[in-house]
Each structure stands twice: as C-alpha cells, then as structure tokens.
C-alpha cells in the first residue's frame, strides 16, 4: 500500500536583512501553506519585556518556550495534512544565542517537526542597505547581533540547510528559486534531527566582541 506524501514543512533562516520576513509569507502563499509565527501572539507582550533585559540565558529560554509552543501548532497542521512555512525555527534561536555567549547546553526532543531549511544569504553591502531602509528602531539585541554576525553564521553551520543567495533578487524571484529546488518533506521522527550531533547544541564559553527584501 503506497505511503501518502507528507505535508511539507519549510523554515527560512539567516541573518537580519537577508529577506526572511518578506519571503516567508510569499513562500507560504505559493505552497498553499500556513505561515505559522514562531513567536505566538500570546508571547508578544512579554517578548518586548524580555528583550529589554540583559540576560542571554533568560532570553534564550523565552524564545525556546515560544518555539516549543509553535511546534505543537505546526505538528497539528502537519498531522492534518496542511503544509507549513515558518520564518526561522530552533536553528536561529540556538545559533544566535550561542553567538551571544549563552552558557546553556540544549538537547532538543527527537519528536519535534523537522523542516526543510533554507538559509537566506546576501552580500554584506546589500544586507546593510536593506537594514538601513527599515524604519524600526534597533534593540540592544539587534545591535549585538550585528557585532557578532560572523559568529552567528558560524553557529548556523551546525545545522543542515540549503543556501539561497538573495543578492539582487526580488522577493518573488527568491520564492521561485526555492520552488525550483527539489525537496523532500520532513516530519516527526526523521532519523537526522537538527544539529551536527543529533539535536544537541553544546554550551560554549561566554564571549562577545567588540517591497524589497528586508
């Protein structure tokens, strides 16, 4: 008896300004998928308060909690046969906070929904031009993220992702590039969860130095 195709679950990762928030809803529309926020609405007011604080560990735990809550919603959609697109998933939280210097080691459960992940990249000059066009003010975490952008990129290397260069492309062209890529859906129980070692990101010593795509 043939096994039915699993619904596609896709995540967009990358530094600020590479196009995640612009491309994600367009990709969802193209796929006929649900665009699930990985910081659910019930977390939004607390998110602003947490981001005003200085604890990397507290911030990381907050975003992990939000992601686990979103993962339940994602799993429900996938179980109903509905494809899902998210703008960042656990990889962004773990890579970013690792670069920020968290002392926490994290082991993710094997049963988490596993996405096909695209790492959006672009030239540094274009990324900075896109960021300069934003009207939103920078948070202290945004500023820190820019200082440790190379470390975030290095931490992303722990995860299995397909790179998509958005340099010089319109959002619809980025979507077409993704649609042209052959993918196979992933689901709960896939044998190779996120991370270099199965779904584990070890703690590292604290060290911190120093519509167009948006």
CATH code of residue 42: 3.40.50.300
Which residue range is the domain that position 127 belongs to? 9-196
Query: Are 47 and 58 contacting, i.e. CB atoms less than 8 angstroms apart?
Result: no
Tell whether 152 is covered by a domain: yes
Q: Kindly list the distances between the CA atom of residue 210 and the CA atoms of 100, 102, 148, 154, in Å, as whole numbers in the listed order.
A: 12, 16, 8, 17
Q: Block means of pLDDT (10 residues each) for the chain, length 214 residues?
A: 73 97 97 97 91 93 97 97 97 97 92 96 96 88 96 95 96 96 49 40 38 53
Structure tokens at 89: 């998933």
Beta bridge partners of 87: 12
pLDDT digits (tens, 9 = 90+) for 198-214: 334 443 333 333 445 55
Predicted confidence at residue 213, as pLDDT, reads 58
Strands 106-107 and 200-201: what pairing?
A: antiparallel
Cα–Cα dist 165/177, whole Å: 9
Q: What is the pLDDT of residue 202?
A: 42
Identify whether 116 is part of a domain.
Answer: yes
pLDDT of residue 190: 43
Structural domain includes residue 205:
no
Residue 77 lies in a domain: yes
Q: Domain for residue 208, yes or no? A: no
In a domain, 154, yes or no: yes
How many domains, the chain?
1
- The vertex-128 CA angle with 177 and 124, nearest 5°, equals 60
Give the count of beta carbons closer than 10 Å to the beta carbon of residue 202: 13
Helix H segments across the chain?
20-31, 44-51, 56-79, 90-100, 124-132, 140-147, 149-156, 171-179
């Amino acid at each position: 008896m043939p096994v039915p195709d699993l619904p596609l679950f896709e995540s967009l990762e990358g530094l600020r300004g590479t196009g995640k928030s612009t491309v994600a809803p367009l990709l969802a529309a193209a796929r006929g998928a649900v665009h699930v926020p990985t910081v659910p609405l019930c977390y939004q007011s607390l998110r602003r308060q947490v981001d005003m604080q200085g604890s990397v560990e507290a911030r990381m735990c907050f975003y992990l909690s939000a992601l686990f809550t979103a993962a339940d919603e994602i799993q429900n959609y996938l179980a109903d046969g509905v494809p899902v697109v998210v703008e960042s998933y656990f990889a962004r939280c773990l890579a970013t906070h690792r670069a920020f210097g968290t002392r926490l080691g994290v082991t993710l459960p094997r049963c988490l929904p596993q996405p096909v992940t695209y790492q959006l990249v672009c030239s540094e000059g274009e990324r900075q031009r896109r960021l300069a066009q934003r009207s939103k003010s920078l948070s202290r975490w945004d500023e820190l993220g820019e200082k440790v952008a190379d470390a975030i990129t290095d931490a992303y290397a722990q995860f299995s992702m397909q790179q998509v260069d958005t340099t010089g492309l319109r959002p619809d062209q980025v979507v077409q590039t993704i649609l042209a890529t052959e993918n196979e859906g992933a689901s709960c129980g896939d044998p190779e969860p996120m991370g270099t070692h199965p779904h584990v990101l070890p703690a590292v010593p604290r060290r911190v130095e120093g519509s167009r795509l948006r």
